[in-house]
Every structure is written in C-alpha cells, then in structure tokens.
Structure 1
Amino acid sequence: MSIQTDFQNRIEENELLNCMRCGFCLPACPTYIETKDEVHSPRGRIALMKAVRDGDISSYEEVEESLNVCLGCRACEPACPAGVNYGHMLEEARAIFNEHHEHSIKEKTVRKTVFTHLFPNQKRMEQATSLIGFYQNSGLQKTSRKLGFMKLFPKHMQQMERALPKVAKKKSHPEAIFKAQGETKATVAMFRGCLMDTMFHETNQSTIKLLNKAGCDVIVPDSQNCCGALHGHSGEKEGAVELAKKNIEAFEAVNCDYIITNAGGCGAFLHDYDHLLRHDENWAERAKSFVSKIVDFSSVLLELEFNKNFPLHIKNQIVTYQDSCHLRNVLGVFREPRELIRAVTGAEYIEMSQADHCCGSAGIYNLTQPDMSMQILDHKMENVNDTKAQTIITSNPGCLLQMKVGIEREGKSDKMRAMHLADFLLEAVINQD
C-alpha cells in the first residue's frame, strides 16, 4: 500500500479541510516563530498532508522533514477557531511515514532497543537509571569531567549531563495503598510513569505525600506500563496501542475516583487513549471510561482545597511557572498550578512572558532536533531572566530537564533552580511543619 493510500485511509479529509488557513495558529507555533517559514507552521504542515493525500506531491522528503521539525506541542489547537485536531493528524502522519520508511540497521537497532526493550519494561528502565546513579555517585562523573571526557560531546549534551537530577535509590514495592492522613475524601490511582518512577522517583513520592495530606488514599497499580507517548510521537503507533491496552487493564482492576498523573506529557497521551483505540470495538468504550478518570494532581489538590487547609511557607524568593505544553493544550490545566503557587507565602509569583510557549524539550526533540530546541530554549530563558526568578516551576519531567539545561546555558546554576510543582509544594509544607 502506498503512502498516499494510507493517508487517504487513515487521515480524514474533513479534518484536513477544517483548517481555514486563517493564520491564528502562527503566533502560537514555536517553529514558525523561529523560522518565519510556512512549511514549519501548523497550517503549512496541514497543507502538506493534504497534498500527500491528494497526490499533489510525489517526493515526501520535505513533508517528512517538516513533520519531524514540529515539536508536537499542540499550542495551535487552543488557538484554532475551527477546532482542528492537529495533534492527532500529526501522529498519524508520522506513523504512516515510519511504516514506509526504510530504516538502516543502526536505526532499526536503536528503535527496537528504545521502543521495544527499554521504555515498555519498567525493570530495564530502573536498571538504566541505576547506571546513571552509579555514574553520579561512584566518582566516575567527577573523573570524566576532570579529564575533559564530556568535551567529546556536543555542547548541549554537556549541559544536559550537568543538568541531570541526582538519582535516588528507589525502594521497589508491589502494588501498594498509601493511606490518607485523617479523613479519606477520595481514592485515587496514580500513574507512576517510566521516567517519573525512575529518574524522578522522589517527585512521585512528593506527589503521593501531598495527595495523602489532602485526604486521598493513593493506589499505585504494579501492572501498569509506560504510557506510550514516546512511541506515539515517534511513529511507533502499534507499540503505543499495546501499551494503552495494558494500562487500561491495569487501572480497570482498581476502584478509584480518579487516575492521577503528575507529568503533563504522560497525562495528555493517556487522555488521548479513546482516540487511539476509537476503531477497536473491543477497546473503544473501555478507553473512554479510562480517559474519563484522568486528571492532573494539581486539579485534585485544588478541588480538595489543599491550598486553604494547609499553611504553605517558603524562604522569600521570586518564583515563575513554565507551562507543560500538553498539560495546558490537551488537558486544559493552567490555572491550578498557578493558584497553588500563589498560596505559598514567601513566594513572590511573577508570570513569565509567553509561559505557554514550548520550552523546546518535547519528549526527545532536544536530542533529535538539538539546534532548534536550543534556539527555542535560549528565547525562553530571556523571558525567565526578565522575571528575575530564583525558582522556575514546571509540571513535566522533560520540561524540568530542559529548564535545568537552560539554567546551565545561562551560567546561573548557583543563583537559580528548576523544580517540579510537587517538590515545590512539599518543600513549602515541610518548611511550615
């Protein structure tokens, strides 16, 4: 089957025609802002997809390049007056091109290692993360820096190495229930994530402690898997579908009011399971039921009035917030983190200009498109600097790492820090206690 035929079968013409070419998406699109090239705008990419579907393009290199340069931040969606589901079309188009692409042996090996053997297997993720912990704690990190070994890598990779969080030793445990402190107001099941449960394990623990304080019994199903976002964004649709089904099964076994996420990217992809499985008659309704319970932890904290029931205090500092694109643009969560931050005495909240614009992380975008990623990040840090913030808060692991890299690039690691919202709030509770 040809690429054109797959586009005709899998990307709805009506969805493509919904784009009115009005241009409201242009000021929202980071890659258009950086390039001023319509090929790298949402309406330009939609036009390219339609041209492939209609058979007006016979060479697909420019189309593929345009789709690959896209961050997939989906900022164009809330900006679009016609409600075009750009993100869904982008992922389907990437999947089609990936299925028709002749990968080299090296590419096949890397993709199989990452998408089949690493991210879907939590034990392997833990083993990989423990290697980073060994590198940090054994003296290898200090030695490699002293010998100048990291200088063999590109500058942005050197900065990423310095920005990696300290990996804490994870205590493995089977499915567990973490009981609420005091009266139980809600029962929630927590999606732990792969990066969040390994490299950012302490942030998961912070999230659980906050939910317990707010009155939630927190259940962590042991049979859950990677959400599949990395697969879906990289054209590995089949792998994403399999992971979605396993996660739905895992959480169907739990009686809960909500399924909690604390990573914007994971939450958005979980929220799209009903779209991913819409054509599977055995899974479509189950996916809808699963999606109906997905909620960010900040929404639950605000609903249970955590910010009113607990005094929150921190050492005087200026704080700003960087939105997770998918948390804001897909889940529609942007008010809740700001209200929680503003409830912390000692924290002077300054809204960053264009806080809703992507930081350039976008999953593994900073590895696959490093030049564009760093260009976007440098402009983001200009806005951060304007706030004079000492603390940058965000709600997604990729964004957190990217902002840490931004701090390194600015040479401000001794004056500025980046934190996950959960860690910041728990610090405010502990300081008060």
Structure 2
Amino acid sequence: MTTLKEQTVIQEAFKNRMDEDELLNCMRCGFCLPSCPTYVESGFNETHSPRGRIALMKAVADGLIEPDEDVERSLDLCLGCRACEPVCPSGVRYGHLLEEARDIINQNKKHSLPVKAVRNLVFNGLFPHQNRMRTTAGLLGFYQRSGLQSAARKTGMLNWLPKNLAAMEKVIPQVPKLREMKNRPTYFSSAKPVKKAAFFTGCLMDTMFLETNNATIKLLQLAGCEIHIPQNQACCGALHGHSGEKQTARDLAKRNIEAFEKLEADYIITNAGGCGAFLVDYDHLLKDDREWHERALKFSEKLKDISEILYELEFHKKVKLELPGQIITYQDSCHLRNVMKTSMAPRKLLNSIEGIEFREMKDADRCCGSAGIYNIVESEMSMQILDQKMIHAKSANAAVIVTSNPGCLLQMKLGIEREGLSRKVKAVHIADILVEAACQKEK
C-alpha cells in the first residue's frame, strides 16, 4: 500500500516523465478492446483495457486521480502483450507508456522487506550474471538427474506447491549438465558462408533451452551463416524493463550493444520473441542518452528473429525439409508478432516441410498468458487466458504446437499437461522442429 507521501511523489513523476503527446494520441476509439486479453477475460472491464489504462495514466499525470492501489492493480494485471498496438489507428506505443508508468511506481514506492529482497535477488543478483544463471540451472539439472525429482513426485511433496507451479514442474525441460553449458564454442563456421551472424543466446535459452540454441546454430549454418557468439553479452533486460527496473535494463542494453558492435556482423539473431522485442526497442530505451542512442539504433537495425533470417536466406529452398505424417499448428509469440512484426515467416517455413499438414489455430495471435513471469505473479488471470487458448488448440486437433518463445513454449506445455493431453500432443520451439525436419535424411 502506497502512503500519501509516496502518491504525491509518484503523481509528480507521472507529470514530468510520462509522454503527454503519446497519452493524447489515444483517441478512445476502442479498436484495441477486442484484442486485449485482460479486458475480455475480466468481463469487459474498461479499467483492464489499453484505453482504460491510458486514461488512468493521463488522469494521474493531470492530477485528477491519485495513483492508488486500483491504478497500480490495473497496470500490474496488464500482460504487456502489445496486441493493442497493431490495431491502433493512431499508432499509440502503449508498451512504452506501460513500462514508464510501472517504473515510476516501482521506483517511488516502498516495498516490503520480503518483496524488496526477492526483487533484488532476481533483478540484480541473478539475471544480469550469466554464470549465476548457469549455476542455478545446474542445480535444477541436478534435481532432475539425482533422483530428487522422482522422490519429490512419489512422496507428494509437490502438493505443497500452488497447483500451477506443481504442474509447471512437470513441463520444465531436462536441463543440460553444467559443463555442457560452459563449454559450448563461440564460433561456428559454414560450408559456404554468405553472411556473418552474431547470435544473442539469452539467459534461459542458453541454460534451460540450450538444445534449442544448438538447433538454432545448426539452422544458421545450413542457411549459409558463420556464427559468432560474444562471450560478454548479457541478459536482454526485458524482465527488468517490464517490471519497473528500467535503469538496470539500460545498463544491460549498453553491455549488449558494446559486445555485439565489435563483431560488425551482418545480422544479430535471436530465437526468443520476448527477448527480440526488447532488444529491437533499445533505441527507445536509450533515447535520452546522446552517447548511446545512435549506437542502439544501429544495433536494433541488425536484429532479426531466426525464422525471419531463415526465410530471407531461403533456407527452406536450400535444405530438404520432411516430417512424414505430422499435423502441426502454430501459436504466435506476442512480442515477435506485435513488436518485431514477424508472423508470416514462421508459417511459411512450417508449410515448406514435406509430409506435414499445417492447421491454423483460431486466435493464434492471442496471448497464451505466459508474459515473462506473469503466469507466476498473476496466476489466476494467466490460467484463465491459457484455458481459453487450449480450447482453440484442441480445436485445431494437431499433434504438435509450435511456438517461437521459451515462455510461450512452457505455457503451452503447461496447457497440454492441464488438459491431460501429454500422451497425444507436444509443444516445440520452431528451431527444434525445423532441425528435426532438416535431419530426417540423416536418420
């Protein structure tokens, strides 16, 4: 609960820091309403719509209302999926407004000691340090391989966890051994290199999803890229930027820009839609920093998702792709679609695989409810959104659900588990299914 003094400080910060022109760009037309999952799932509550949240931000900035718990609750409940942006006739950059508002509130309110400790551990002690991420993932891998996981499941210890976390434990992929995470090379050649690619490996992607990163590297090689992996790259900063820790996000952005610009690569490749959307927005994140803004712009201009670069380099024409008898569908990563504007490339690549039947999922562009750590901190709304998503997934009647983001992948795996479909349906990252299709002839 914010005190009166904190509300006064927050209100002044809203007045000074919020982009008034962007707030005024919202015409209150309502085109964003059907695209907003929280508006729909809350029973068409205007407060939980993009239009409603912008109105709240404007009212706080104008001193018409206090930045109380109701305002904060409305902002916290937002997924940040940015589905409202493509449908907005005025081109309002809602995501930028949301991040600024959250940062103002979180930097000017006093958190309880437990919350402060957790935030400090996650945002400062863990994610900015890849070696600590590897160690943490290594401990999870030890839990999986040592027999502890089996014992925890057999004894019912997991029943002490909240229901969705207990289900999530079942869908976490097998974590590679620590030495595998540490000893991966930083350069990969290609038989006939036509482009120089720098690979943004990410935090979770290079630990929990290391095999998907390895698949991504293999695909880039087959497409004709030599791949460089800067060792001093850092977390993209998305988790920080979305959670009111923008200064740390800026610091991480500078580390990444510096690490990648030295390579002078043709492209900077990512395979995580959430990371990619934040990376491509570095120029906005650093817009007020004269020294770094231009460098951030050059960085962002080189950024491409793995599906986009593969399609651009005609990978699907160079390599025979085949998966006999597979029925697949595709779930969009919100940030890949709404921010990076990549939606057709994944579908075209999947449709180029011989032997598969591609079925478009209804509302595939609607958020699955993952949204970073949203499915943990806002479990009830997340599961409500996921349940709706699974109705459409089941209607597609596909055996494979493909997506392009680790959070979406885990969420879809969770949905499959909740629906009791784990024997019939699987969820995979697009890089993994493309490598499987490309390597059929080697089996």
TM range (shorter): over 0.9
Matched position secondary structure for 1:241: helix
The amino acid of 2:13's aligned partner reads D
Give the Cα separation in 1 of the matches to 2:390 and 2:181: 36
> Corresponding residue for 1:246?
255
Q: Does 2:383 align with 1:374?
A: yes
2:68 is the alignment partner of 1:60: yes
Q: CA deviation at 1:432?
A: 2.8
Residue matched to 1:212: 221
Structure 2: how far apart are the matches of 1:75 and 1:233?
15
Alpha-carbon contact 1:175-1:219 (below 8 Å) kept: no
Structure 1 spans left out of the alignment, 5+ residues: none
Deviation at 1:318, TM superposition (A): 1.0
- Cα distance, 1:425 vs structure 2: 0.2
Q: Deviations over 1:261-316 (max 9, x none)?
A: 00000000000100000001111111111111111111111111111111111131
Instruction: Specify which of 211, 233, 236 is matched with residue 224 of structure 1.
Output: 233
Q: Aligned pair 1:18/2:25, yes or no? A: yes
Number of positions where the alignment pairs a residue of Structure 1 with one of Structure 2:
432
Paired residue secondary structure (2:236): coil
Distance 2:327 2:71 in 1: 43
CA offset digits 1:100-131 (Å, max 9, x no partner): 11111111110110000100000100011011
1:76 matched to 2:67? The reply is: no
Q: Supply the distance in 2 between the matched residues of 1:292 and 1:372 (Cα, whole angstroms).
A: 35
Letter in 1 for 2:378: Q
Moved over 6 A (4+): none
CA distance in 1, matches of 2:256, 2:124: 16
3-state DSSP of counterpart to 2:421: coil
Q: Match of 2:407?
A: 398
Q: Is the 2:60–2:67 contact (alpha carbons within 8 Å) kept by the matching residues of 1?
A: no
Q: Aligned partners of 1:352, 1:272: CA distance in 2, in Å?
A: 29
**Residue 351 (structure 2) aligned to one of 332, 342, 345:** 342
Query: What secondary structure, in the 3-state scheme, does the structure 2 residue paired with 1:91 have?
Result: helix
Question: 1:397-433 deviations in whole A, cap 9, x for unaligned?
Answer: 0000000000000101111100000000000111133
In the other structure, the counterpart of 1:304 is 313
* Cα pair 1:175 1:222 within 8 Å, conserved: no
The letter of the residue matching 1:121 is H
In the aligned structure 2, how far is the partner of 1:174 from the partner of 1:245? Answer: 24
**Residue equivalent to 1:6:** 13
**Structure 1 171/31 Cα, relative in aligned 2: closer, same or farther at 3 Å?**
closer
Task: String of CA shifts for 1:199-219, please: whole Å, max 9, x gaps.
Answer: 000000000000001100010
- CA distance in structure 2 between the aligned counterparts of 1:173 and 1:296, rounded to whole angstroms: 25
Instruction: State the match for 1:263 in structure 2.
Output: 272
Identity level (%):
58
Distance 2:218 2:15 in 1: 49
Q: 1:176 aligns with which of 153, 164, 186?
A: 186
Deviation of 1:59 (Å): 4.6
TM-score (norm: length of structure 1): 0.98
Q: Is 1:31 matched with 2:38? A: yes
Deviation at 1:174, TM superposition (A): 7.4
Q: Does 1:127 align with 2:98?
A: no
| Aligned counterparts of 2:441 and 2:125: Cα–Cα separation in 1 | 44
Aligned partners of 1:179 and 1:314: how far apart in 2? 27
Q: Is the 8 A contact 2:11 2:66 kept in 1?
A: no
